[in-house]
Every structure is written in structure tokens, then in C-alpha cells.
Amino acid sequence: MRSEHFGGRFPGAVTAGIREISGRSQRTPDRDSSSTRRLHNFLKFCCLLCLLTLVKGASVPSEISIGGLFVVEWSSSYWERYIAAAAQAAVEIINERNFLHGSRLKLYIADMSITRSMSPNVLISPSSFNQLLEGSMVDALDYTHAQKFAALIGPGYSSEAVSLSPWLYQQDLLSVLVSATSPVFSNRTRFPDYARICPPDSYQGWAIADLMQSLKFKSCQILSCADVYCAGLTSVFVQHAKAKGIRFTQNVWSYVDQTSVAANLQAIVADCVAPNVFVLLMTDVQAKVVFAAAKQLNLLDRLVWIGSEGVSSLLPSELPGNYIGLRMAWNESSQSISDLKTLWSRKPIQFSSAAYGNVSMPDQSMWRSYSYLPLAYDAVFALAYAFQAMIERNESIYNTSALENALLDVKFEGASGYVSFASNLGPKVGRYDVVYQSVARNFSIVGKWSSAGGFSSLENLNLARDGALGVCQGIVLGGMFVENWNPGYKDEDAASAARIATMMINQDPTLLPGITVSMVIGDTSAVRAISQNGFLSAAQFNIVKQEALAAIAEDLHSKGVTAVVGPGFSSESILVLPSLNSLGMVEVSFSATSADLSNKQLYPNFARTCPPDDLQGRAIADVLAHFKWTKCQLIGCVDVYCTGLARTFLQRSKELNIEVEQVHFWEFNNPSGTQALIKTIYENCSNSRLFVLAMHDHDALEIFQAADTIGATGNIVWMGSESVTSISSGLPYGYLGMKIGFNHTNSHFNRLQTLWESLSPSEYPGVDKLLTNPYLVLSYDATFAIARAFDAMIRNGVSIFNVSAVVETIGALTFEGASGKVSFDKNLDPSYAKYDLVNQQANATVSIARWEAGSITHLVMLDQPTDWLDVAVTWPGPSGRDVMPVCKSANQSSSQLLLKVLLSVCLSLLVVFAIAMLLWCYLCRPVRTEDEDGEVIKMINKIRSELKITIKDGFLTSREANTRRYRLSKGRMKVIDYRFLVNTARFALMKEFETKHVNGFCNWLRNQASVSLPFAESHRVLIGEVHSSFHDVNQAAGSFATSQQERYHRLGDFVISTCEAMLSPGSSACDPTIEESDEFEARFGYFLDKTTRINLWNDEELNLFAKLKVAIAKHMALLGRDCQDRFDEMKKEEAGHVLTSFRDSQEPPRRFSPYKQSDAEVLAIRLHEEDSRDASYQDEIKMIQISPTGIRVHNEEVFVAQLHLRAKLMNHAFQKKVLQVVQSHESPSGRESLDKESQGASEELIPSSSDHSTFCADFEEYGNDLLQRKISVDCQFEDGVRRVEICFAPVKSKARISQKLLKYADPQLQCVWPYSGYILDPVRLSVIVDGPKKILEVFKWFDSLDASSGISVCRVKNKFMSSESEDGYRDLTICVLFTTSCGMRIIGEIQVHDKKIHQLKLKMHKLYRILRAESLRDI
């Protein structure tokens, strides 16, 4: 409390004395005499008199010192130097007038030039930088040699004021802010030691939005920075701009380098539709960099600039034309301004320190721009008025609370206007002048704004209206095609069609006029070449392809691509779309036909010009029905295209009563296997000879080759998908198949064909396939669709980088393309889709019919009234359209047939009779009352007792029910499958069990709980109870339902208690044995492998996982207590007190080292300028991950991938190098004592003693299992040879790295983006020794290494210090910068453990996996 400080309202001792006396007087009993009461009253009067004497006795000081934090040693024309001079002038005028009744005011200037020179960087955290700023300002104040300050003025920047705030609070000192305008200082709870004379940015952001609206600007680009001033002002402006319907794009940049700012500006204007209104919410220094970059790009006078008051503080000569902005308002005709100018005209202003020189009278341009001059003058007068009031009240001028109260009463007409303070010690009214500089560089005040009434006046300005900049000259489209494959591959032809489309777009004067469209091809040949083999699972195969496609997408994005044509396969589109979405790109495919891609929830940025396969599957089935075929075989591949097509075909076939006899999904690229498959199907004479092929073209060639090899080609009718039909040569004679239909007679197709024929076939191949391959015209139309969407967006002033707008615009398109009419439905699939049925005839592939919207039209018309199928279709063999061969069979007489039937019937009867006899014998067998496993029997009885499913409760096991004793009554009792109980008991005993039987038991109990039957009646029959009342029966039935529910919940409790025992850490872990640890490992493994498969965990009603977490938390608490017990033991051991107080000897300590994985010394994460832009754009489009606690995290997948890849490359070398360091301390006799396994492993992993070099990237990790082992080395310590264990750890996974980002994104930690740079343990291992002395010696081994070793310690965290404990677990963590011989670097982690605590950690880590998991699947 401030009243307890020196200079507070009441001295603390006096206040306490009054309270004590008052309290005693109140406790005086009524029986006290009157003389005693008079004595108490007299003492109270004396205390009050003493208090008044203390207060009044404080003499008025002869000098009142105030400090001024200003930058005065920069440029002689720097605005803050003149602000300081205005404050000094106010002091001189106050003293001349004897304003303070005999006291003189003195201003001590504290120069902040060094402070203002500091800039944050990635090598220092924000908190450390704030501490540096604070220290620099305190040093500047100390340098003034003032004995004591009554108040301060300044500092000038909001970020500086934030840094100084803690020191002000410690000193109980008030500062008046002249130019720090951030809204945060209006919060008196957070910043109690600031008053300010300048209006806060909560007014300024409002005023700028009003200015935009008054000037009728509807859109703008916001340029801002990341400091507290920019962030506060931007947030207020954005709030008001949204309310006024002003569109904006927010850009948060660094302004240290003009080159990077110019690149960012260039990227904005490349947008083609970027607004020409730029709102600058920044400081004057940053604005200078922006103007210089704009001038470099020849944009300075082509833009409309709207600036904050910080920008307007520049001199008119430093401002561009078309500039309009706010400045702090002041009254040029006021008496205060007149007094200031009169004093300044008489002589230059002399600062308190002669070293700072004199300040001459500002010229007219400075008076116009330096609007803080009047505010600084008024700030000094406001303090003087407050001091005057405090002196008149006999209050100490060092009483900060009294000074705050006095300021609330200050009211006067100052140089800036009428001055008064609100309750938050800010100005009651915010006032701004609107300044304008024309292109002719005429500077003037054109309006005034106040928070009380808005604009009181605003002149009509000859400003350009807002709209597009018009400086965009090129748009880059992307293409993903297979270009370097076999000559003549169809994707190469599709790429030619797309590039020709860009040529025709540029030739069209009505489409994107004045803008050149180019196409960059991302070659996907390497992706298409990846084949799944025995070394890759399906998941790994997809991951490899996805990473390759993502790299291509990132390359296209770096070249300015926002929309991509391709890729060709559906599986490739599905794999690349996540990358395209994250990069803000749209895909328009010409041949990805999978129906799955129509799901806009999963693939919102996907459109296509080819029809989806759900239509093709229907079309094929409709053709079969049209041909009156009722049976077929279906063969397909295993990717998403084939399975999706097959799914829709099967659905439609079922509707049309077409029997699909066999379905084969086959993994191709296996010619011998494919031949065996075709032979098996073909030689089964009962199979239909109609083969439907749902596959790719290269798969079909393998099928056709297999059929030809076995001589079946002429006897099979092939019906293929459109991909099969696209085979240019190799279709079998008589082949039938689908082809995407298009109109090749329209004018667009003719222009495409004409231009293509005029081009070089080597550079633009494929014109010869234009009539037969529909994907070529669809690729052409896809390119035109993107261009037309961009054209519509630019005409409407919408950014082509706005992904959602691109998707929306494509969906609204309708135009004539080379394939005919092009438009899109709600799923961005083509609205007009049709298929041609083609037939491979002698000389060509002929379209014989067309399918459209479920109807089939014949394209081959006959002159004769003959059967169309026999004449129009060429069939593969003599059987024609007959696909149902008859199996050959020998002629048999009717008597032989009758005999066979009779024999079959007799044999069947004999079998049935034998089975019945065996079943009777089994049911009547004596029941075995004992089991070989007595433990299981006991556990079954326990389970039945706990769940109340004993015979007494009305339940029989299936074994009991088959005995004669219970056979008559089993109809009235519930029967439980005995296998259910056996396997549940085995689960409880941690023996092998069949999950299906335990799940069956769970389901049986749950079903019983849902059925309410009057069991009570049958129960009475069995145990002889008598109830005569119908009411009693109903009551029993109700209790039955309740008891059944209870049994089900009891089962859940039984599972939890079993798991709690299963996961118990065991006996006291202060001295755990190896056998105990191994036994816990086995129990935990049993839990993961067996227990988690029980379906009961999925029942939300039971909520078992939450209950399990409660039990695990108890185990963790016990382990934490054991860790603490061991820690207490360690403190008593040798060197224990040294370890518990150990700190890094470096200054500053290396635990505060600025090392990050993204630092220039490391570069495990590479941060480019575009990454900052991506992060800003994520903020703009709200593509931010928000944790359950509300922490916002950017998408850092790129950085996580970089770090994870670097870790994988260097992990093996890192582990080797650390092991080599440990081995260098190995005892000569220690190697001989190692067991053979450890010795062999160590020798294989550790280089020879002569090899002291570092390692480069080592790819042995996947082929060497040594890193999965624990190696022991006997090392020489100070007190003898002791064993050291090295436990290797795998590379930290991407998922875990991403999970840890939430920790560093917490705003309270003030970490610097990217947060993945703070992950310092992507490669890690543990060194385990016994006791504190060994831990400290191991640390010295690594700390003493020189730079040539490749390992240097960069951070130390001692968790053995009491303040560093986490959940009771402790170790010494050493982060090291590891460098390979080829120069790659990464920061890795070495954990040095006490052996006993480490054994506890292994258990805690496993249990913690359960605690941190959201569900059982996440463990």
C-alpha cells in the first residue's frame, strides 16, 4: 500500500498507533470510571495533534526536481529534442512567475539516445529486451545526479513506457506521458504510475476510421508493426473499420531493412487488386523506411497514404504527396503558445546539462509537424498546478497518491487546448488535427476531430478514389503434370494444352487486359515413378508421395502461384490438397475423377472440369442394362479412383438387378500374378465372360497382356473405364469402354486445334490425340476457368489471393470452352457431364453411343431396321454379345440321376443322426466341477460375487445350465456363456485371454441392463420365497431393472480396479530393483496390448477413462513422493549440497542463453521473410490453432518438418558423439568387465579411440537397432571406477513437437515466433549415474570440451534445485550445440540422471502417457 511508504498519506507508525489506541478505547468496559475515559480521549487528542504537527511541520522544498526522459543527442532536428526544449521552456516560465510560492522547479534531462538505439532481435527474448530497456532508462536517470524526483515526464515510446513501469512502481513514482499513446496505459490496474497529456490510441484508431469513412474509402492496406504502440492502435482501428464496413488487409512487418520492406510492398502490388489506400499505423522512423521503399518501386505518388500521429510528426519535406493524417491538436492562437514563442525568440533554450547544447526556435515546418511541443509544455504546467495545490494543502510533493489526486483537480487552458484529466489520469477529451500534403507538396490543416463530437470540419480533398493500384502486370498459374516420363505420355499432352490455353488467354483483349498470364509447371514425374513395394506399407507409401507433392506445391507457391491445374490422378490430388490448402492455393483438375473429391468439407479448394466417378459408375451400369446383360466380373486397382468408381458401379448394378459375380481389387505391377488371376476367372466355366475394368490405363495393359497370354482375348467382352479407354494403342479388338464426351465442333475447339497445329510438335506434343483424348480439352478448359475467375475478381476489386473468393468465383462461372458449355455445381463438379461409349473397331476407336443424365443415345445410326447391337458394335469373337457360356457336362440317364439323389438324401440323414447323438452325449455328460487352473476358478467366483450374478442371484453359467440339476429351471434363469467368465477372469489375472469373449460379456451385461423383466417371480421359485401381492411383483421387477444397471456399472468398476492394480508402480521406489522395473514394464505392456481392446472403454455412460486417470494420478503422486524421498537422501550424500545449489558458472548463466533452433548459429530451422508474411496472413484469415486454454498458435508445420528432418539426419551421429565422450572416460579395466552383448554393441557403435572427428549425417538409424538399447560403460571417477548407463532415445516425433508449441505460445512467457525454435530436445539421450557427485562430474566432461569436439554446452537447467522441481522428478539437463564435420548443426539434450530417480522416471513417464492423453487411443 502506498500509505505505508515514506511520503504516503499517513506515516505507518502513527496510523497504527491511532488504531491501537482507538481499539483499546473501544474495548474499555462500561464499568471504567469517567476519569479513565477522559484519559483515553486525551491520548487520542494528543496523537491527532502529533499527526498534524508532522504534516504541517514538513517545510516547503526550495527546489522541486522532475526528470525528463527524452532523446536529445540524435539529429539536431529530431522531434524529441524540441519536445524536451518545450518542457524546459515551461519550467523557466513557471519559475519566472514564482508559480510555486518560493519553490523553484528544475527539469533534469535524461538522454535516451542509447535506449532508442536498441532494437529487438531473435537472439534475445522479449522479456530480456524489456529488462535491457528498463536498465538503460534507469541508468540515464541516475546520470542526471538528481537527489530525488517528485515526478517524471516521458518516455516517448509506448514500448519504452511498458519497460519502465516496474521500476516506477518500485520507486512509487509518477510519470506524465507526452507521446506514448498505446491504449494499454488507460488500464490503471496494470499501469498505476502513469498519467498522460496526449490522447490514447483508443481515440486515434476511432478517428482514423472516421476519416476513412468521411473520405469514402471502402478498402485499405494496413501496414503496422508488432510493438505495443502499433498493436494497440491497430486493434482499435480494425474494430472501428469493421463496424463501418471498411475492408482491409493487415500486414505486420519488420522495418529494419528497406530491402525487405520493398519486397513486401512489391508482393502487395502484385496482387492486381490491392487497394491504393495505405494506412500507416507506425512510428515516424518506420514510416521513413516505407516511403523510401515506395520511392524505390516508383509507387510513392501513386498511392494514398493515411498516417497516424506518429507518422505525421515527420517534417513536411519527409512526407509524400497524397498524404493525409492525424496530428495532436493545439491552439496556435492561445496565450500559452504566445508565451512559449516569446521566450524562445529571446534566446535558445538551454538544457540542464550543458553537454546537450542549446535548442534554437523551431521553424514553421517544425511547428506544423512537431505537435508534441504544446503537449510537453502543458505536461510541465499540469505538474506545476498539481504541486501548487499540494503545497497549499500542506501535502508532501513526494506523496504519489496525493499527486494523482491533485492532477484530477487540474484544469487550465494550455498550449494544446483545454487540459483536464479523467479518472484514469488520461485526457477527458481526445483532439486531433487532420493534416494534408498534396502531390504538389502543399502542406495544410484540413480538419479537426474530437472524441466529443467527431469532425467539426473537413475540407473536400482532391484525392484519388480507392480502387486497384493498376500496377500488376503478370499472373502466374501453376500446373502439376508428368512431363519427363515415357515419350507420348498423356500428361505431357495435357500440359501442352494448358500452356496453349495461357497463350490464347494473352491473345484475348477482353480477358485480363494488360496482364500477362504465364504458367509454371511442377513436374510430378518423380511422384508417379514411386511404386509401392515390399518395403513400404500402404501408409508409408502415401506419406512418401505426399511429402514429394508437398515439395512441388511449396515450390509453385514460392513463385507466386495461387491456382494450380492438375495433378492427373485422384490419389495425387487427395494427397496434395492439404498442402495446397495450407499454402492458400486452389486446384482445378482436368482428370481427377474420384467421387470422394466432391466432399467440400474435406476438400474445399478443389474444382474440376472432368465429371466425377459416381456418374461414370452409373453410366457403366446403365450401359450393361441397355445391352440386357445381367451378370459380370469386376476387376479394379486398390487406389481411391478405382475403389470409388467400383463403389458407385456396384450400387447402381444392385438397383438394376445386375449380378456382379466376383469383385477383385488387385495390386498391379505383378504380371505373373495378374495372369494367374485372369486364368482362374476365365477357366471357371460358370463365370460370365463380361469383365468390367475399374482401373488405370497402365493397369489395363497388364490385364490385356495376361488375357492374350492365356489365349482368352477373343472370348472376353471388355467394358473399361474412361482411364482404360485413354490408352492410345493396345486396346483389344471389340473393346467397349467409356470416354468423357465433348463437343469437338464448337469454335473454341477449332481455335485450339488450329493454334496447336501451327506450333512445334516437339515443344507442344499431343495435337494428334486431341480428338481421342478428352483430358486435353479439359486441361485447356481448367486453365481458362482460372483465368476467367481471376478476371471477374479483378474487375470486382477482389484479391486473387483470397482463396475463398477464388473458389466462390469459379463456382459461379459459365462459359463456352473447348469441351462445350462449362459451368460448376455446388460441389464444383461440372454441371454438364456426358460419357461416350466407344468401341475398338478394325481401324479406329469409334463412339457408338452417348450417356447423359441417365439416358443413352445412339450415335451410330442404321439405315436398315436391324438389331443395333449386332451391326453398330464390333464384338471380340464369334460369340458376339453373348457373355454367358454354358458349362459342358456328360449325358446321364434319368435312372442314374435318381440314384444319385437318393444316395445323397440317405447320406445326409445319416450325418444328421450322428450329429444329434453326439450332441445328446455332450449335453448329458457329467459337469466338471474343477478346472485345471485354480486361480481362474477363484477369480470367476470373485467376479460373480462382485457383480451379483451367482446362482442365488438367478444366473447360471452355460456349463451349469447343461447339468441335470438345473436343466428344468434354466428357462427361468439367466444363462451366462461360461467362456465370458473364463476370459474375464484371465484378464483380471493378467493371463492370455480372448478379447471377443470379454467384449461379449460386456455386451451381454449391457443388454441385460436395457431389458426390464420380472425376474423376481422366477427367483422366488428357486429359493422358496413367497410373495402374495401383485404390487410386490411390480416392485421386484423395477428393482430388477435397477440391479441390472448396477451390475453393468459394477463391471466398469471391476475393470478400473483391475487396471489400477495392473498399473501400480509397486513397492517403495526409493530402492527399486531391476526385477520390479521389468515386471512393471510387462504389466504396462499388457495394459496397452490387451486391456485397451475391451469395448467397455468406449461407453460414454461409464466414462472409464476419466476414472482411470484419477487412479493413475494417485500412482503419480506416490511416485512423486518417492522421488522426493530419494532427493532428501541425495542432499545428505557427498556433494549433495553442491548439486542442489549448482548454477551455471557462465555469465550470464547459459540457462538464459538466446540459443534457438532458428538462430543463425544453428539453422536447424530456416526462417525466411515469406514465413513472416505467411504468419501474418494466418492471423488475417484466422487460420490459427486455439488450445483448450485459449492459447493461439500459428501453423508451424514447415518449421516442425525442418527440425524433424534435421533431427533424423543427425540423430545417429549425435548419439555416437555423446557416447564417444563418455567412452573417453572409460576405465581400462572397465571394458574387460562388460558382458559380451554390451561390449559388442559398444564396439559397434563407438568409433575407435583414434577417431576424434565429428560425424556428418548418418543414415544408419533405420538399419541399426543399437540405438534402441541401453549401453553400460565402466568409467573412471574421482572416487574410483563406477558404471555409467547410456539410454538412447528416438527422434522426437512431429506430433509431439507440434504439441509442445502450445507451451511456448503462452503470452506470459513472451517467446518469439517461431515457437518451434524453442524445442531443444529433438535429439536426446540419458546418462545415468549413481549419486550427486557423479552427476556433477559427468557435467564437467561435457562442459570442458573445446569447440573442435563438435559439442558445446549452450544451456543448463538444474532440476535438483528446489525451485526447478516438476512433479517431484529431478535431473540435470544439458542442452548442447552439436556440429557435424560437414557443418550441419542442431541443439540436442543430454539428461544426467540419478540411477534410483531414473528408475522412478521410467514408471512416471509411462503413467504420464495416460494422464496427458485425451482418450485411450491417444496413449
* Residue 1009 clears pLDDT 70, i.e. is over it: no
Pairing mode of beta strands 1385-1394, 1372-1379: antiparallel
Amino acid 1186: pLDDT: 64
Residue 814: closest CA among 789, 845, 777? 789
CA distance 185 to 424: 9
pLDDT band at 1234 (very low <50, low <70, confident <90, very high): very low
Here the cell at position 454 is: 467527431
State the angle between helix axes of 372-392 and 400-408 in degrees (0 to 180), rounded to the nearest 10.
110
pLDDT band at 1027 (very low <50, low <70, confident <90, very high): very low
Task: Kindly state the helix (H) or strand (E) to which residue 328 belongs, with its residue range.
Answer: strand 323-328
* Residue 1004 clears pLDDT 90, i.e. is over it: no
* Residue 1013 clears pLDDT 60, i.e. is over it: no
For residue 644, CA distances in Å to 489, 540, 541, 625, 1419 come to 24, 21, 19, 21, 33
CA distance 956 to 352: 102
Residue 762: closest CA among 960, 1024, 492? 492
Amino acid 1398: pLDDT: 87
CA distance 1045 to 1154: 60
Here the cell at position 804 is: 475463398
DSSP 817-833: ETTEEEEB-TTSSBSS-
pLDDT band at 30 (very low <50, low <70, confident <90, very high): very low
CA distance 325 to 1220: 65
Amino acid 5: pLDDT: 32
CA distance 86 to 80: 10
Here the cell at position 633 is: 466380373
Residue 1324: closest CA among 1300, 1286, 1290? 1290
Amino acid 660: pLDDT: 93
Q: Are 663 and 687 in contact (CB under 8 A)?
A: no
Amino acid 1007: pLDDT: 79
Range with the largest mean pLDDT of 85-89, 555-559, 893-897, 1185-1189? 85-89
Would you state the torsion angle of the CA atoms of residues 194, 198, 199, 205, taken in this order, to the nearest 10 degrees? Answer: -110
Q: How many angstroms separate the first and last alpha carbons of the chain?
A: 50
- What would the pLDDT profile of 1052-1061 be if each residue is shown by its tens digit? 889 999 998 8
* Residue 1412 clears pLDDT 70, i.e. is over it: yes
Residue 460, C-beta contacts closer than 8 angstroms, at least 6 positions apart = none
* Residue 447 clears pLDDT 80, i.e. is over it: yes
Under DSSP, is residue 1260 helix (H, G, I), strand (E, B) or coil?
Answer: helix
Here the cell at position 301 is: 505518388
Residue 864, C-beta contacts closer than 8 angstroms, at least 6 positions apart = 871
Mean pLDDT in the chain? 81
Read off φ and ψ for residue 1221, nearest 5 degrees: -65, -45
Average pLDDT over residues 280-309: 91
Which of 375-379, 819-823, 1018-1022, 1114-1118 comes out lowest in average pLDDT? 1018-1022
Q: Are 240 and 206 in contact (CB under 8 A)?
A: yes
- What would the pLDDT profile of 709-741 be if each residue is shown by its tens digit? 998 888 899 999 998 998 878 899 999 999 998
Give the residue with greater pLDDT, 1412 vs 397: 397
* Residue 35 clears pLDDT 80, i.e. is over it: no
Q: Are 527 and 545 in contact (CB under 8 A)?
A: yes
Residue 637, C-beta contacts closer than 8 angstroms, at least 6 positions apart = 665, 666, 667, 668, 694, 695, 696, 699
State the angle between helix axes of 1169-1180 and 258-269 in degrees (0 to 180), rounded to the nearest 10.
50
Read off φ and ψ for residue 527, nearest 5 degrees: -70, -45
Amino acid 1113: pLDDT: 82
Percent of the chain at pLDDT exceeding 90: 36
* Residue 1022 clears pLDDT 50, i.e. is over it: no
**Amino acid present at 1095:** N
Residue 840: closest CA among 704, 990, 749, 940? 704
pLDDT band at 51 (very low <50, low <70, confident <90, very high): very low
Here the cell at position 279 is: 494506412
For residue 691, the cross-strand partners are 633, 718
* Residue 525 clears pLDDT 70, i.e. is over it: yes
Here the cell at position 1383 is: 557443418
Q: How would you label 454-464 residue by residue, b for 16+ Cβ within 10 Å and e otherwise?
A: ebeebeebebe
pLDDT band at 536 (very low <50, low <70, confident <90, very high): low
Residue 1200: closest CA among 1318, 1354, 1374? 1318
CA distance 568 to 489: 12
Amino acid 1093: pLDDT: 87
pLDDT band at 207 (very low <50, low <70, confident <90, very high): very high
Q: Are 428 and 422 in contact (CB under 8 A)?
A: yes
* Residue 879 clears pLDDT 80, i.e. is over it: no
CA distance 846 to 861: 13
Amino acid 218: pLDDT: 82
Range with the largest mean pLDDT of 967-971, 1326-1330, 1379-1383? 1326-1330
CA distance 1419 to 1411: 9
CA distance 1142 to 1144: 7
* Residue 450 clears pLDDT 60, i.e. is over it: yes
- What would the pLDDT profile of 745-759 be if each residue is shown by its tens digit? 889 999 999 999 999
* Residue 45 clears pLDDT 70, i.e. is over it: no
Amino acid 886: pLDDT: 54
* Residue 900 clears pLDDT 60, i.e. is over it: yes
For residue 44, with 0-12 CB atoms within 10 Å meaning exposed, 13-18 middle and 19 or more buried, which class applies? middle
* Residue 871 clears pLDDT 80, i.e. is over it: no
For residue 990, CA distances in Å to 888, 984, 1051, 1074 come to 60, 10, 17, 20
Give the residue with greater pLDDT, 811 vs 1267: 811
CA distance 1222 to 1048: 56
**How many CB atoms sit inside 10 A of residue 528's CB?**
21
* Residue 1326 clears pLDDT 90, i.e. is over it: yes
Amino acid 188: pLDDT: 87
**How many CB atoms sit inside 10 A of residue 1021's CB?**
11
Amino acid 1150: pLDDT: 42
- What would the pLDDT profile of 299-353 be if each residue is shown by its tens digit? 888 789 999 988 998 888 899 988 999 988 888 888 999 999 999 988 888 887 7
Average pLDDT over residues 94-120: 88
Q: What is the pTM of this model?
A: 0.42
Amino acid 560: pLDDT: 80
Residue 944: closest CA among 816, 1050, 804, 1072? 1050
Amino acid 930: pLDDT: 43
CA distance 391 to 348: 31
Give the residue with greater pLDDT, 708 vs 31: 708
